[in-house]
């Protein structure tokens, strides 16, 4: 699979990235470690060599599964992980990084990201200068190779850049969730910052697998996703109906079509989860879908049928 430069770093990532939130199990149901390991290994075998995880995914469980699955090919993969909002003081960042290194069974992390800005999720407010100083020190020590942020606004990204080099930002971004296009994407194009889009299939909606009345088991956080809720859900159904003929034209799935569209947006790479090896292999095949500029535009217009009614709140979920 082709690779792309990560920001201004000397790291090269695949345009499709394996996301491993589900691998941590917490806030998901029906996840088995053995299937997760098979999915990760199939992802690598299919040409996707960039893996995204976080310390908060199952309190380190996701990182441990990633490390176990790929320890024999560590030198051939790019690890991206994240420090959570409650660990942004200098010493806490250092400790969190060391814990992630242990979980991943490695002595360096390729991309280390601030998962959420200070103050979110009832966390203590820490000056970004302090957090960036810790990250810069880790980089100078060779424990991390590049610094990224996640869920930052343009203003927060601009402030962070005053205190160090940032090579990526990770926002929620998909055909059905496009707030990143308003300010983040133009700014990243100007500053040469890579976008790593999470929830790139709108948490499974863009696979077309849900029926008209989706239900979720207790503990599945997707029940709080605003796109699954009326009136957005009805617009989603209309858009999916319009997308299906285009997917058929390219002999691909709705998911592959959506990934192919996303990685053709400016500076954008798609983080995609996989519960099993079959999904992992299918995700990788999206790279083979060569959309024409006309169809990229057509797909964009269909997506606007959903996104034009959303507000500017970047958080996808209505958590209680």
**Domains of the chain with CATH codes:** 4-204+255-291 (3.20.20.100)
Burial (CB < 10 A; 0-12, 13-18, 19+), residue 272, is buried
> What confidence score (pLDDT) does residue 214 get?
67
Q: Which two tokens stand for residue 21?
A: 């939130």
The residues, any chain, with a CB within 8 Å of residue 170's CB and separated by 6 or more, are 52, 82, 113, 148, 149, 150, 151, 195, 196, 197, 198, 271
Region 213-231 average pLDDT = 73
Region 218-224 average pLDDT = 68
Region of residue 115 (left: phi > 0; alpha: psi -120 to 50; beta: else): alpha
pLDDT band at 320 (very low <50, low <70, confident <90, very high): low
SS3 197: strand
pLDDT, one tens digit per residue, over 41-88 is 999 999 999 999 999 999 999 999 999 999 999 999 999 999 999 999
- To the query of whether residue 57 is one of the catalytic residues in this protein, the response is yes
SS percent in the chain: helix, strand, coil, step 5: 45, 15, 40
pLDDT value at 129 more than 90? yes
Beta strands in 105-217 (DSSP E): 109-114, 144-150, 168-170, 194-197
> What confidence score (pLDDT) does residue 219 get?
64
> What confidence score (pLDDT) does residue 229 get?
85
Region 253-274 average pLDDT = 97
Catalytic residue among 12, 57, 187, 198: 57
> What confidence score (pLDDT) does residue 213 get?
67
pLDDT, one tens digit per residue, over 36-53 is 999 999 999 999 999 999
| Omega of the bond leading into 266 within 30 degrees of 0 (cis) | no
Distance CA 24, CA 57 (A): 5
CA distances from 261 to 26, 46, 199, 288, 314 (A): 30, 20, 14, 12, 21
Whole-number average pLDDT of the chain: 94
């Amino acid at each position: 699979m082709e690779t792309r430069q990560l920001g201004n770093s000397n790291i090269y990532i695949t345009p499709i990235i394996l996301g491993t939130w589900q691998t941590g199990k917490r806030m998901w149901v029906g996840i088995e470690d053995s299937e997760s390991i098979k999915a990760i290994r199939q992802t690598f075998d299919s040409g996707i060599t960039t893996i995204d995880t976080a310390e908060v995914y199952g309190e380190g469980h996701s990182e441990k599964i990633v490390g176990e699955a790929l320890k024999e090919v560590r030198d051939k993969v790019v690890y991206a992980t994240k420090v959570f909002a409650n660990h942004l003081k200098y010493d806490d960042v250092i400790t969190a990084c060391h814990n992630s290194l242990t979980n991943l069974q490695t002595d360096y992390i390729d991309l280390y990201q601030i998962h959420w800005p200070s103050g979110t999720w009832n966390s203590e407010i820490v000056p970004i200068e302090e957090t960036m100083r810790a990250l810069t020190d880790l980089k100078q020590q060779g424990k991390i190779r590049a610094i990224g942020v996640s869920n930052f606004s343009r203003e927060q990204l601009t402030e962070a850049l005053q205190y160090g080099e940032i090579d990526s930002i990770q926002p929620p971004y998909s055909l059905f969730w496009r707030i990143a296009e308003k300010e983040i994407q133009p700014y990243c194009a100007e500053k040469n910052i890579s976008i790593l889009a999470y929830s790139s299939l709108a948490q499974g909606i863009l696979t077309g697998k849900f029926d008209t009345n989706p239900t979720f088991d207790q503990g599945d956080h997707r029940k709080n996703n605003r796109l699954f809720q009326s009136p957005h859900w009805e617009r989603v159904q209309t858009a999916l109906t319009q997308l299906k003929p285009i997917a058929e034209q390219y002999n691909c799935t709705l998911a592959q079509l959506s990934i192919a569209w996303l990685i053709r947006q400016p500076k954008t790479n798609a983080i995609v989860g996989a519960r099993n090896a079959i999904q992992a292999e299918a995700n990788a095949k999206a790279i083979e879908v060569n959309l024409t500029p006309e169809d990229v535009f057509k797909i964009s217009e269909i997506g606007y049928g959903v996104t034009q009614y959303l507000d500017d709140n970047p958080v996808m979920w209505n958590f209680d």
